[in-house]
Amino acid sequence: MDMDAFTTVHGPQWARLDALARKRRLTGDEADELLELYQSVSAQLSLIRSVAAESSVSTSLSATLANARTRFTGAKSNFFVDTARFFAISLPAAFYRLRWLTVIIGAVFVVIGTLFAVWTAGNPAVMAAMGSDAQLQKLVDHDFVNYYSENPAASFAGAVWTNNAWIAAQCVAFGVTGVFIPYSILMNAQNVGMTAGVMFAFERGDVFFSYILPHGLMELTAIFIAAAAGLRIFWSWVSPGAQTRLDSLAREGRSLITVAAGLVLVLFVSGLVEGFVTPSPLPVWAKITIGALVLAGYWAYTLILGGRAVRAGETGDLTADDAGASVRSA
């Protein structure tokens, strides 16, 4: 098929359909014309896709048909309905699909961090490489604790939130490489573990946990979730199953990029805990309890709503129309 000739012949129809789809008010005759053109152009698009599925013409016509469809079906999305669906179905379903991988990554992080802590606390050479005795003593006695209170709580919470949300987004986006996630988990586990090693070497392990656990329970879990999403996206093109690699990658990417958006809110909560609860004068048991309740709330949300959504067939992917699905010729 000569695409240029086909476009020349049918171009006026496509332009007319686009004009009607964009028109704010349609007469009865125009509405009938819109429906007839929609049916005709849909058939033409199927023919084009059988010859050149990924051409610019097919992409443009898909957009025109989608716009026209909303005119005669009234299928424009309702913001509030879409928002409710996102938080009640799509996001918990995406979290639920990652639950076991999240736990595994968390366990690996704890093991690596513990090994670094033991190695640091029991190795004077490592301690010496980290700083002089005076510097380490200052870290243990002042710097570690003052980090959480040296800035106003609101600005500190905001800074922590944006930083962690950026880290989570990077894990989801760059996970496709297969390299970024292991490196990121290793570096973070090393930093936490070596800091813990110094604190324990100076017999301040209780201080370490009293300042890490209240916010860290949820904050670190959020990073594990982002890492799990990134690895799932990576695995989607390594082992695509019956789909093409591109289709598999696109589906997982659409499903799991919702995780990055959802984690912005999760990390906002953990940022509030880190800014207002961690440095507060509350008893240690109360601060840790607050952090544990936040984490429990996340898992309840994921396992109850997410489990229900996944059992109903949800994956967190976009609907067929939003994903840009189109009819292909047999």
Q: Terminus-to-terminus CA distance in the chain, angstroms?
A: 17
Q: Residue 205, Cα to own-chain centre: how many angstroms? A: 33
Phi, psi of 27 (to 5 degrees): -75, 175
The one-letter amino acid code at 105 reads I
Which residue is it, tokens 């984690």? 263
- pLDDT (tens, 9 = 90+) of the chain, 330 residues, equals 677 777 888 888 888 888 888 887 778 788 888 888 888 888 888 887 777 666 777 778 788 888 877 766 654 556 677 788 888 888 899 899 999 999 999 999 999 999 999 999 999 999 888 888 899 999 888 888 888 887 787 887 888 888 888 888 888 888 888 899 999 999 999 999 999 999 999 999 999 999 999 999 999 999 999 999 889 888 888 888 777 878 778 777 766 778 888 888 999 999 999 999 999 999 999 999 999 999 999 999 999 999 998 888 887 655 544 444 444 433
The string over 269-304, giving b where at least 16 C-beta atoms fall within 10 Å of a residue's C-beta and e elsewhere, is bbbbbbbbbbbbeeeeeebbebbeebbeebeebbee
Structure token digits, residue 66 = 């989608």
* Helical residues (DSSP H) of the chain, grouped into ranges: 3-22, 28-51, 56-73, 79-85, 91-97, 99-121, 124-130, 133-138, 144-146, 153-174, 180-201, 205-238, 245-272, 284-300, 307-311, 320-323
User: Which has the closest alpha carbon to 299: 166, 113, 111, 102?
Assistant: 102
Amino acid at 227: A
| 147: CB partners within 8 A, 6+ apart | none
- What is the distance between the alpha carbons of residues 252 and 98, in angstroms, rounded to a whole number? 12
